[in-house]
Structure 1
Amino acid sequence: MKRWLRQRVDAAYEQLLTREISGAPTHVAVIQDGNRRYARRKGEDETAGHRAGARTTEQVLEWCQDIGVEELTLYAFSTENFERPPEEREALFDLLEEKLREFADADRVHENEVRIRALGAVDQLPERVRDAVDYAERRTRGYDEFVLNIALAYGGRSQLLEAARGVAADVEAGSIDPDEIDVETIERRLYDDPVRDVDLIIRTGGDERTSNFLPWHANGNEAAVFFCTPYWPEFSKTDFLRGIRTYESREESWRRTRARRALALLGAVGDAELPEARSIVTRFRDSLPTAERPDEDDLETIESGTAAAD
Structure 2
Amino acid sequence: MLQWARRRFASAYEQMLRREVGNGPDHVAIIQDGNRRYARKSGDDVSEGHREGVKTTEQVLNWCDELGVEELTLYTFSTENFDRPEDQLEALFDLIESKLYEFADADRVHDGEVRISAIGEVELLPDRLQEAVEYAEDRTREYDGFRLNIALAYGGRAELLGAARDVCRAVERGDLSPEDIGVEEIDRRLYRQPARDVDLIIRTGGDERTSNFLPWHANGNEAAVYFCAPYWPEFSKADFLRGLRTYESREKSWQRTRSERAVALVRAVAETELAEARTVAGRLREQLSSTGAQQVTAELERQGEEIAD
Whether 2:291 is the aligned partner of 1:263: answer no
Quote the offset at 1:62 in angstroms: 1.2
Unaligned runs of 5+ in 1: 271-299, 306-310
Shifted more, 14-23 versus 241-250: the winner is: 14-23
For 1:176, the equivalent position in structure 2 comes to 176
Tell me which residue corresponds to 1:38.
Answer: 38
Sequence identity percentage: 68
Say whether residues 1:48 and 2:48 are aligned partners.
yes
**Is the CA contact (8 Å cut-off) linking 1:34 and 1:205 kept in structure 2?**
yes
| Contact 2:118 2:192 survives alignment (8 Å) | no
Which segments of 5 or more consecutive residues in structure 2 lack a partner in the other structure? 271-301
Q: Which residue of 1 aligns with 2:112?
A: 112
1:193 to 1:213, Cα distance in 2 relative to 1, 3 A: closer
2:275 paired residue number: none
Deviates more, 1:233-242 or 1:14-23: 14-23
SS, match of residue 30 in structure 2 = strand
Q: Which residue does the alignment assign to 1:209?
A: 209
Structure 1 counterpart of 2:167: 167
Letter in 2 for 1:130: Q
- Per-residue CA deviation, residues 185-205 of structure 1 (Å, 9 max, x unaligned), is 101111345531100000001
Contact kept, 8 Å, 2:32 with 2:203, in 1: the verdict is yes
Higher mean displacement: 255-264 or 16-25 = 16-25
Distance 1:169 1:188 in 2: 14
> What SS does the corresponding residue of 1:201 show, helix, strand or coil?
strand
AA of the residue aligned to 1:152: L
Whole-angstrom distance in 2 between the partners of 1:194 and 1:73: 8
Is 1:127 paired with 2:134? no
Q: CA deviation at 1:265?
A: 0.9
The aligned residue for residue 250 of structure 1 is 250
Shift of 1:4: 3.2
Counterpart in the other structure of 2:286: none
**CA RMSD for the aligned pairs?**
1.7
Who is 1:88 aligned against? Answer: 88
Equivalences, count? 275
1:232 is aligned to: 232
Counterpart of 2:276 in structure 1 is none
Answer yes or no: is the 8 Å Cα contact 1:188–1:194 preserved in 2. no
Partner of 1:276: none
Q: Decide whether the 8 Å contact of 2:121 with 2:191 is kept in 1.
A: no
Which whole-Å CA distance do the structure 2 matches of 1:125 and 1:93 have between them? Answer: 9
Output the CA distance in 2 between the equivalents of 1:193 and 1:47: 29
Contact 1:187–1:194 under 8 Å retained in 2: no
Equivalent pair of 1:35/1:53 in contact (CA under 8 Å):
yes
* Amino acid across the alignment from 1:77: F
Residue 296 of structure 2 corresponds to which residue in structure 1?
Answer: none
The C-alpha deviation readout for 1:66-99, integer Å capped at 9, x for no partner, is 1111110000000010000100010000000000
The reply to whether residue 223 of structure 1 matches residue 234 of structure 2 is no
